Chain A
Amino acid sequence: MNIKDTYPELHALRSRLEANQGKEYWRSLEELAETAEFREMLHREFPDRAAEWPGPDDVAGRRRFLQLMGASLALAGLTGCTVQPTETIAPYTRPPEGIIPGKPLFFATAMPLGGVGEGLLVESNMGRPTKVEGNPDHPASLGATDVYAQASVLTLYDPDRSKTLTYLGDISTWGAFIAEVQTALSGQRGNQGAGLRFLTETITSPTLAAQLQGLLNEFPQAAWHQYEPAGRDNVRVGAQLAFGQEVNTVYRFEQAEVILSLDADFLSCGPGSLRYARDFAAKRRVTEGKTEMNRLYVVESTPSGTGAKADHRWPMRAGEIEGFARAVAAGLGVQLGGQAAQPSGPAGQWVPALVRDLQQHRGRSLVMAGDYQPPVVHALAHAMNQALGNVGSTVVYTDPLEARPASAGTGAVNQLESLRTLVNEMNAGQVEMLLILDGNPVFDAPADFNFTEALKKVKWRAHLSLYNDETSLICQWHIPEAHYLEAWSDVRAYDGTVSIIQPLIAPLYRGKSSHEALAAFTAQPERTGYDIVRDYWRGRLGAGAGGQVPGTGPKPTTPSSAGPSDPFEQAWRTALRSGVVPNTALPPKSITLKSDWVSEVGKTTSGSQMEIVFRPDPTIYDGRFANNGWLQELPKPLTKLTWGNAALVSPATAVKLGLLSQGDDRLDVEAKIETRLYEVNGRVVELQYQGRTVRAPLWVMPGQADDSITVHLGHDRWRAGRVGTGQGFNAYRLRSSNTPWFGQGLEVRLTSDRIELATTQRHHTLEGRKIVQAAVIDEYQKKPDFVREEVETPPKEHTLYPEYQYPGYKWGMAIDMNACVGCNACVVACQAENNIPVVGKEQVLRGREMHWLRIDTYYKGALENPETHFQPMLCQHCENAPCELVCPVNATVHDAEGLNVQVYNRCVGTRYCSNNCPYKVRRFNFLLYQDFETESLKLLRNPEVSVRSRGVMEKCTYCVQRIQRAKIEAEKEDRPVRDGEIVTACQAACPAEAIVFGNLNDAASRVAKLKAEPRNYGVLADLNTRPRTTYLAALRNPNPEIESKPGPETRHG
């Protein structure tokens, strides 16, 4: 499609954006459009009125205002005279070992998601888990965490969690459940369990797999099905296609210099993404004299964090990626049997250059296919890696992580087919007993399965889950599940490493783990999860008992069993303490491509119709985290949408669909196209696909592939809880088993309705100033201090205030924008560490979200495929802080080490400071956002941080509680604080190690070295604010063959 001819206005806009040769960045369509509303919003520090009387009282006039002000003035003095209420202290009767009151303890555990584990260290304050950190000894974490792990403590204390075991909606008991299971099972014994079925999510837990296998041995006719709505069927089937056997692929980004991602968002989601982000960022780190960096090519349908980091990104419909992969594969010499066709479009013309680049880096390149691309693309990626000699260096194959029944034969685990079989059997009346462990198939099974109707045909059905959810409603038995922080289990990481999941707290609501629920089907129904997991490992851990873990290859070295105790006990304790079971990473496996794999490759499915792309939601995943307020309110990467989802369309598609308001009276027909594009956001359309319809609001997404609409799964649950129920629209209604991830033939019907979408992208905008600095690597090599030209820093004496010396510590932070992948982990980590409240959709719409740290996304260039940069923005702790000068009550002041501190008790809520803050990082408690009432949430709070109430300003403190903790410990030992001893919550969570905090007075500290880098610059430093937080400019490493197109408009950076 030639945009120039079809949509001249869009083309004009593109030319205008591309002609912006300088560093012209924009954040939202609205900003481009410069609507009157947007300008108005910029001029206020918060977008909406300060007064808060929702409803008719809103008209409160001058008199009412004066009355209230008078009253508050008269009563203000009295607040100081309160006598503290009497408090009591309840000490232990018999103190547990190891707990020192007032000191937190850390325990190693792991969080399973999609069956794959992420190693964690969880902070426990007097027995309450309050904060999750990554486990530095765990290969998948190396100390980092993702948003799901950070937010999991909130799920643990969620007051909407299921608290009672129910039978037909009435409260029942575990004993009654066991009794009924045993009765029903005795009926199954006669026919070897022919009517018995288990439905689980993806399972990598060795113990659970052994338990299930034990049950299948006892009931040979029974079956175990696995289904995960955001599962990795394509990966498994693709490997099957290429190698004839199921393998797990582990990528080694630390070796890769040229990376091609075929719709793979490896930096943000999927097994190993934390590790991949760490290794990827390390190869991109241009510091301490290093001037080389890796190069990333991405083709993708919908913009992702990975796409934003790409040096070359080509938007492409999901269905066309196979054609592109074929072309690249053919170029690399993979024998395809003459099926390769040259793909059209801007990506197609660069295939030869891409191929050359890959071939020049044989053994140091990497091709990765996305989880949601069809098996063929995965097979092609395997073949390309083989052809490039990457196997063994950047790509390693191992045995599969997933456990599966031995009776399932050699076929790969295809969960969709597994569920299809189950549904067919249920419909045929063959299933008499069904135990659903975890998962929520009534909500998330493919729409064409009619899972609910089929489920109702099962005579006996039970569901174990954290919430009494959609599936629980359809089952007679609902068993409350123990959260992973409450139960014993084990799990494998992306490379096979096993972690024992150890609980941090006894089950709050007598929940049961999957292990315990399965034990109810055995002769020992009351066995505890602890016994089950330990008994499984008893024969496998430590010396003496064989020590062989299935699939671990060579026997682990026997630990020298010094000491009298049981070697198993020693090994068990070591495994619990370190968070990993040693030597359980799956060994590399040498496999070869099947000779006939090409013949099995199907025909390409590309068409010219409108395409629909399904994706798990970047914050609430497949819907399981829908009731987690932190995740619901977390601005999704790139769209910055909160509380709900939208159908993402490209600007050209929006034009094509006739969405622009041509004849609309409200708008001037002459209005600029960007204004009219912006007006599309929130327009409700009817999406009809394969005869099923949902109504969805639209969102114009720069960088989205044309003729492709992306919808995110997991929203609009009807039994999620008070937070998640009814947010957004349910994309599962459109998703059928033949098109699990994308398909052709979507019909879009316009309606006249609008929905307000709560996006934070336009909040706190920094009006067209030189906020983001970026360059291409060549420019940087020629002129390392290019930012100096761009950012003017006034001399120190340009201030009326006397110079202040910081003789002791001088805290500061450096953020490498080249490393940041925009994953949001820091935002949730900050929220968890600092007791930051959730405000709700209506308040986000008014611009009152409370996150102390936000990730700003900046775009540059044309709407179709803009260059994207992430910039974490938090309090800059300016040495000349503008906020401090305007506070009438001295509530925001500097401390002697350079922290800009906010004194909550002095704050009277004038909000002058926020008004005067050029970075817009101050947050005001307009209402009582904190929940002081709900008992379970009280357990969640970090005891080291004040809980703020209504009417006070707050902001990033550089995690002052962590600074003080480290300082006190150091002073007790009569030594200075060591570099790296203070790790802020955001820094700890960051998988890319983009954030570094430390003492600027110590020239050897990491932060001081980073600040000495030529790329270092302060945002808005020309205001002479002297920010303590500075940024390292982003760099791109484009392929010169592709970038050297003549003409100024292609010049990047």
Chain B
Amino acid sequence: MPQIFHRSTNTISRVSIFGGAFFILASLWVLAEINRSSYVTQAFVARQQPVQFSHKHHVGDDGIDCRYCHTSVEESAFAGIPPTKTCMNCHAQIFASSPYLEPVRESWRTGRPIEWVRVHDLPDFVYFNHSIHVKKGVGCSTCHGRVDLMPLTWQVASLQMEWCLGCHREPERFIRPKEKVFEMVWPPANYNQLEVGRRLVNEYKLQDRSVLTSCSTCHR
């Protein structure tokens, strides 16, 4: 009886079995990477806003403190988006007739709020609290990046759970002295983060890692 299959079939089948497994793994990896990419996470995508507000100008050039506008960052879960009143505190005097600021003045006249596009948008089942992070030495720029360099604002982190857990598992790699929380440029040169971080974790009585990584810490 003649051979039905050519000898090369052995090789082809080996290659296709290996290739199949490789293809599946590769597709899973590609999917995972797509899921982490800024196409999905929207990281590094500058959002268009109703007003061309520039953090670069207000923070970088003018040196306004974060808390001047985000007033509730130290006491509430929500850092606070400034009411039109806060804009008008200055812009009733400066650039009072700039066409860029017409939406602000319109809001002030009509009482209709400016609808800002959310940049950092966590899913609804995540209950993030700004105040406790600020209190425990997580700096603004640790999560939000160098907003003093951003003309339009974008997010610099994926805001995915693995990113949150990175810090909740090893807070010593990220936390800084409380008084430096609002500094934009951090860490300074020749700074030993791990050494200071370990000291601060004790000093600030951070919860145990098992508590910080419990589901109930962030999800309710």
**A101/B78 in contact, CB under 8 A:** yes
Q: For A93, give its contact among B31, B34, B85, B117 (CB under 8 Å).
A: B85
Measured between C-beta atoms, what is the minimum distance from B88 to chain A in Å? 9
Residue B16 lies at the interface, judged by CB distance under 8 Å to chain A:
no
A-contacting 9-mer, from B59-67, B91-99, B127-135, B189-197:
B127-135
Residue A972 lies at the interface, judged by CB distance under 8 Å to chain B:
yes
A-contacting 9-mer, from B4-12, B106-114, B145-153, B179-187:
B106-114
Residue A897 lies at the interface, judged by CB distance under 8 Å to chain B:
yes
**B85/A86 in contact, CB under 8 A:** no
**A91/B40 in contact, CB under 8 A:** no
| Contact mask for chain B residues 74-97; partner A; CB cutoff 8 A; 1 contact, 0 none | 011110111111000000000000
Give the residue name and chain of the B residue nearest to A807 (CB).
B208
**B81/A893 in contact, CB under 8 A:** no
Measured between C-beta atoms, what is the minimum distance from B143 to chain A in Å? 17
**B111/A94 in contact, CB under 8 A:** yes
Q: Which A residues, 63 to 111, have Cβ-Cβ distances below 8 Å to chain B?
A: 77, 80-81, 83-84, 86-95, 100-103
- Residues of B contacting A945 in the complex (Cβ-Cβ under 8 angstroms): 220
**B220/A91 in contact, CB under 8 A:** no
**Most B CB atoms within 10 A — which of A81, A807, A896, A961?**
A896
- Residues of B contacting A974 in the complex (Cβ-Cβ under 8 angstroms): 205
- Residues of B contacting A960 in the complex (Cβ-Cβ under 8 angstroms): 216, 220
Q: Which A residues, 795 to 821, have Cβ-Cβ distances below 8 Å to chain B?
A: 807-808
A-contacting 9-mer, from B17-25, B118-126, B169-177:
B118-126
B-contacting 9-mer, from A263-271, A738-746, A900-908:
A900-908
**Chain B at the A interface: SS class:** loop
Residue A58 lies at the interface, judged by CB distance under 8 Å to chain B:
no
**A905/B125 in contact, CB under 8 A:** yes
**B81/A89 in contact, CB under 8 A:** yes
Residue B202 lies at the interface, judged by CB distance under 8 Å to chain A:
no
- Residues of B contacting A57 in the complex (Cβ-Cβ under 8 angstroms): none
- Residues of B contacting A968 in the complex (Cβ-Cβ under 8 angstroms): 129, 131-132
- Residues of A contacting B215 in the complex (Cβ-Cβ under 8 angstroms): 893, 895, 901, 903
| Contact mask for chain A residues 939-983; partner B; CB cutoff 8 A; 1 contact, 0 none | 000001111000000000100110110001001101000000000
If A88-B116, A102-B72 touch, whether A808 touches B132 (CB-CB below 8 Å) is no
**B82/A91 in contact, CB under 8 A:** yes
**A86/B118 in contact, CB under 8 A:** yes
Measured between C-beta atoms, what is the minimum distance from A424 to chain B in Å? 55
Give the residue name and chain of the B residue nearest to A904 (CB).
B125
Residue A899 lies at the interface, judged by CB distance under 8 Å to chain B:
yes
- Residues of B contacting A90 in the complex (Cβ-Cβ under 8 angstroms): 113-116
- Alpha-carbon distance A102/B214, docked complex (angstroms): 23
| Contact mask for chain B residues 33-49; partner A; CB cutoff 8 A; 1 contact, 0 none | 01100011010000000
- Residues of B contacting A893 in the complex (Cβ-Cβ under 8 angstroms): 215
If A901-B215, A964-B220 touch, whether A84 touches B85 (CB-CB below 8 Å) is no
**B220/A944 in contact, CB under 8 A:** yes
Measured between C-beta atoms, what is the minimum distance from B119 to chain A in Å? 10
- Residues of A contacting B108 in the complex (Cβ-Cβ under 8 angstroms): 93
- Residues of B contacting A93 in the complex (Cβ-Cβ under 8 angstroms): 83-85, 107-108, 111-113
**B35/A81 in contact, CB under 8 A:** yes
Measured between C-beta atoms, what is the minimum distance from A775 to chain B in Å? 37
- Alpha-carbon distance A872/B67, docked complex (angstroms): 47
**A91/B114 in contact, CB under 8 A:** yes
- Residues of B contacting A88 in the complex (Cβ-Cβ under 8 angstroms): 115-118
**Most A CB atoms within 10 A — which of B112, B118, B214?**
B214
**B125/A946 in contact, CB under 8 A:** yes
- Residues of A contacting B208 in the complex (Cβ-Cβ under 8 angstroms): 807-808, 896
- Alpha-carbon distance A93/B81, docked complex (angstroms): 11
Give the residue name and chain of the B residue nearest to A102 (CB).
B78
**A101/B214 in contact, CB under 8 A:** no
Q: How many chain-B residues does the 8 Å CB contact rule pick out?
A: 48
Q: For A972, give its contact among B34, B112, B131 (CB under 8 Å).
A: B131
**B113/A100 in contact, CB under 8 A:** no
**A89/B118 in contact, CB under 8 A:** yes
Measured between C-beta atoms, what is the minimum distance from B200 to chain A in Å? 13
Give the residue name and chain of the A residue nearest to B109 (CB).
A93
- Residues of B contacting A961 in the complex (Cβ-Cβ under 8 angstroms): 127, 220
Residue B219 lies at the interface, judged by CB distance under 8 Å to chain A:
yes
**B81/A91 in contact, CB under 8 A:** yes
Give the residue name and chain of the B residue nearest to A85 (CB).
B121
Residue B210 lies at the interface, judged by CB distance under 8 Å to chain A:
yes
**B77/A92 in contact, CB under 8 A:** no
If A88-B116, A946-B125 touch, whether A971 touches B132 (CB-CB below 8 Å) is yes
Give the residue name and chain of the B residue nearest to A82 (CB).
B40
Residue B52 lies at the interface, judged by CB distance under 8 Å to chain A:
no
- Alpha-carbon distance A88/B117, docked complex (angstroms): 4
Give the residue name and chain of the A residue nearest to B81 (CB).
A91
If A964-B216, A972-B131 touch, whether A86 touches B117 (CB-CB below 8 Å) is yes
**B72/A100 in contact, CB under 8 A:** yes
**B116/A81 in contact, CB under 8 A:** no
**A80/B35 in contact, CB under 8 A:** yes
- Alpha-carbon distance A3/B188, docked complex (angstroms): 92
- Alpha-carbon distance A615/B193, docked complex (angstroms): 71
- Residues of A contacting B111 in the complex (Cβ-Cβ under 8 angstroms): 93-94
Give the residue name and chain of the A residue nearest to B125 (CB).
A946
Q: For B75, give its contact among A87, A95, A100, A904 (CB under 8 Å).
A: A100
- Residues of A contacting B15 in the complex (Cβ-Cβ under 8 angstroms): none
Measured between C-beta atoms, what is the minimum distance from B121 to chain A in Å? 5
Q: For A895, give its contact among B39, B84, B117, B216 (CB under 8 Å).
A: B216
- Alpha-carbon distance A101/B124, docked complex (angstroms): 16
- Alpha-carbon distance A582/B141, docked complex (angstroms): 52
- Residues of B contacting A83 in the complex (Cβ-Cβ under 8 angstroms): 39-40, 42
Give the residue name and chain of the A residue nearest to B115 (CB).
A88
- Residues of A contacting B113 in the complex (Cβ-Cβ under 8 angstroms): 90-93
**A972/B107 in contact, CB under 8 A:** no
- Alpha-carbon distance A964/B211, docked complex (angstroms): 11
Q: Which A residues, 33 to 86, have Cβ-Cβ distances below 8 Å to chain B?
A: 77, 80-81, 83-84, 86
If A88-B117, A91-B116, A968-B131 touch, whether A896 touches B210 (CB-CB below 8 Å) is yes
**B220/A946 in contact, CB under 8 A:** yes
Give the residue name and chain of the B residue nearest to A84 (CB).
B121
- Alpha-carbon distance A90/B125, docked complex (angstroms): 21
**B84/A901 in contact, CB under 8 A:** no
- Residues of B contacting A103 in the complex (Cβ-Cβ under 8 angstroms): 72, 75-77
If A100-B76, A901-B216, A964-B220 touch, whether A808 touches B207 (CB-CB below 8 Å) is yes
Q: Which A residues, 878 to 910, have Cβ-Cβ distances below 8 Å to chain B?
A: 893, 895-897, 899, 901, 903-905
- Alpha-carbon distance A91/B81, docked complex (angstroms): 6
Give the residue name and chain of the A residue nearest to B210 (CB).
A896
Q: For A81, give its contact among B34, B112, B219 (CB under 8 Å).
A: B34
Give the residue name and chain of the A residue nearest to B204 (CB).
A974
- Residues of B contacting A895 in the complex (Cβ-Cβ under 8 angstroms): 211, 214-217
**A964/B217 in contact, CB under 8 A:** yes
- Residues of B contacting A86 in the complex (Cβ-Cβ under 8 angstroms): 117-118, 121
Measured between C-beta atoms, what is the minimum distance from A783 to chain B in Å? 40
Measured between C-beta atoms, what is the minimum distance from A500 to chain B in Å? 29
- Residues of B contacting A101 in the complex (Cβ-Cβ under 8 angstroms): 72, 76, 78, 80-81
Q: For A808, give its contact among B76, B107, B131, B211 (CB under 8 Å).
A: B211
- Alpha-carbon distance A905/B126, docked complex (angstroms): 11
- Alpha-carbon distance A87/B116, docked complex (angstroms): 9
- Alpha-carbon distance A974/B203, docked complex (angstroms): 10
If A77-B31, A94-B84, A974-B205 touch, whether A946 touches B124 (CB-CB below 8 Å) is yes
Apart from A81-B31, A84-B42, A93-B112, what are 4 other A-B pairs with CB-CB below 8 Å? A86-B117, A91-B84, A961-B127, A964-B220
Could you write out 9 A-B pairs with CB less than 8 Å apart? A84-B42, A87-B117, A91-B114, A93-B84, A101-B78, A102-B72, A904-B219, A957-B216, A963-B216
User: Taking beta carbons and an 8 Å cutoff, which residues of B are in contact with A?
Assistant: 31, 34-35, 39-40, 42, 72, 75-78, 80-85, 107-108, 111-118, 121, 123-125, 127, 129, 131-132, 135-136, 205, 207-208, 210-211, 214-217, 219-220
What 7 A-B pairs come out closest when comparing CB atoms? A102-B78, A895-B214, A102-B76, A896-B210, A90-B113, A93-B84, A92-B83
